[in-house]
Amino acid sequence: MTNRDSFFQDRTIKQRIQYLERIEQGWDEGVRWADGIISELQEYDPESEGKKAWTSQWDSRWKAFVRNKEATGHGERVLWGKNEWCFFARSCQGRSLVTGQVLERTDCHIDRIFNSDGYTVRNCLLMEGGLNFAKGSMPEFQTSSDFTGECKLEFGVRILRRAVRELLEYSRPHRDR
């Protein structure tokens, strides 16, 4: 991972250790869960999703998402509509698609796999905020122009999981002290 400090954000050393241990302990179950959700996301059907009830709570969350992107100058990147976004958010259940960890609302980031692409259900991940910041400088995620794989979700998750696993391995001797 290019920038470990961005992954940890403003956590203290003790909080970093607890954070890594929680990820490591829940890794197998979390990854299995996330892989199942990624399969669901690949099967997105706009017609069936458009028939689901739309609540004022979802409307408020959708508007907040769009406002956030507009406030950061990225409004033009929001290519998905509210139903596609809602399907994504419902499917993820507030859990990281990389680690499977349940995320605190303040640490819950929806971002594109490739910085060059727009927001769509097949090009976005829900992940830890620190992981999103660390991902931002990784060369693999700058542009999708050379991407030849079948699934951007699987590609992004594979690279990010490898980076998190390396961090877990690298930090284990230091955490044990």
Mind listing the pLDDT tens digit of every residue in the chain (177 residues)? 444 456 777 778 888 888 889 999 999 999 999 999 999 999 998 888 777 788 899 999 999 999 999 999 989 999 999 999 999 999 999 999 999 999 987 788 999 999 999 999 999 999 998 899 889 889 999 999 989 988 999 999 999 999 999 988 888 877 666
| Annotated domain spans of the chain | 4-175
What radius of gyration do the chain's Cα atoms show?
16
Per-residue confidence (pLDDT) for residue 3, from 0 to 100: 47
Per-residue confidence (pLDDT) for residue 5, from 0 to 100: 54
Handedness of CA 138, 143, 148, 153 (dihedral sign): positive
- 98 with 34: CB under 8 angstroms? yes
- 174 with 146: CB under 8 angstroms? no
Per-residue confidence (pLDDT) for residue 11, from 0 to 100: 77
Give the global pTM: 0.87
End-to-end CA distance of the chain: 22
